[in-house]
Structure formats: C-alpha cells, structure tokens
Amino acid sequence: MPIEQISGCIACKACIESCPTDVIQLDKRTNKAVIAYPEDCQICHLCRLNCPVGAITISPDKTIPVMVSWR
C-alpha cells in the first residue's frame, strides 16, 4: 500500500487539498478524510507533511506493479 492509513483525522482537509493526485476524499458521513484512490498515490508525502496532527502513514510500496523502461 502507498498511503496506508489516516488515523486521528481532525477534518481540516489539509491532506485533501495538498494531494496533487486527488487520492484523498472527504467522507461526507463521518466528515473525515478517507483514502479513496490508493492506486493513484505517487508516494510524494505532501499529504503527510501538510497534516497538522501527524495522522498519515505511508509505505514505499506501490499497490500496482509499476512499468519501468528497463530493469
């Protein structure tokens, strides 16, 4: 998993706004940030760095194997 977990969200939306690839959405029911599209996470860590309460955990693994030009 790239972005793995949001735990202790205070609903400030900083992660939603600072994610360039639109991975995180606001759950309208709970008014909390949820990981909606983990497959589109580029693992840049902008969400984690913008979170004021350190709620976000990220791992370096990609959910889908990535296509590289050589290996």
Partner 1 sequence: MQDNIELSRRQFIGVAGGVIGASALASIPLGAETIENPSDTQASDFTIENQHTDVLVIGGGMAGLFCAVKAHDAGAKVMLVSKGRVGSSGLTPFAKGIFCYDKATSEVSIDEFVAQVSESAIQTNNPVFTRQLALHSYDRVQELKQWGFFDSALCNTSFMRPINERNIPVSERIMITHLLKDKGRVVGASGFSLNEKKIIHFHSKSVVLCTGSGGFKPSGFPVCDLSHDGTIMAYKAGAKVTGKEWNDGHPGSAENSGSCYDNWRGQIEEKPGLTGVQVNHHLGVDSNYQAYTQGAPVTMGPGSAPNQAGTSNVTYPQGPYTPTAFRETDKPKPPPQESGILSMFRSKGHDGPPGMGGEQVGGSTAGMAIHKSEGLVPIDEAGLSTLPGLYAAGDALGSYMSGGIYTQIGSSLAGSAVQGAISGEAAAKASLALEIDAVSQASLEQIEHQILAPMLRKKGYSPAWVTQVLQGIMIPNFVLYVKKESLLSAAMAYISELRDHHVPMLMADDLHKLRLAHETENMIITAEMKLKASIMRKESRCSHYRLDYPDIDYENWQAWINIYQDQDGSMQFEKQAFDAWPNFA
Q: Would you call 40 exposed, middle or buried from its count of C-beta atoms within 10 A (0-12, 13-18, 19+)?
A: middle
For the bound state, the minimum distance from the C-beta of residue 8 to partner 1, rounded and expressed in Å, comes to: 20
Say whether residue 22 binds partner 1 (CB under 8 A): yes
For the bound state, the minimum distance from the C-beta of residue 30 to partner 1, rounded and expressed in Å, comes to: 17
Instruction: Judge contact between 33 and 26, C-beta under 8 A.
Output: yes
Residues that bind partner 1 (CB under 8 A): 2, 17-22, 25, 36-37, 39-40, 42-46, 49-50, 58, 60-71
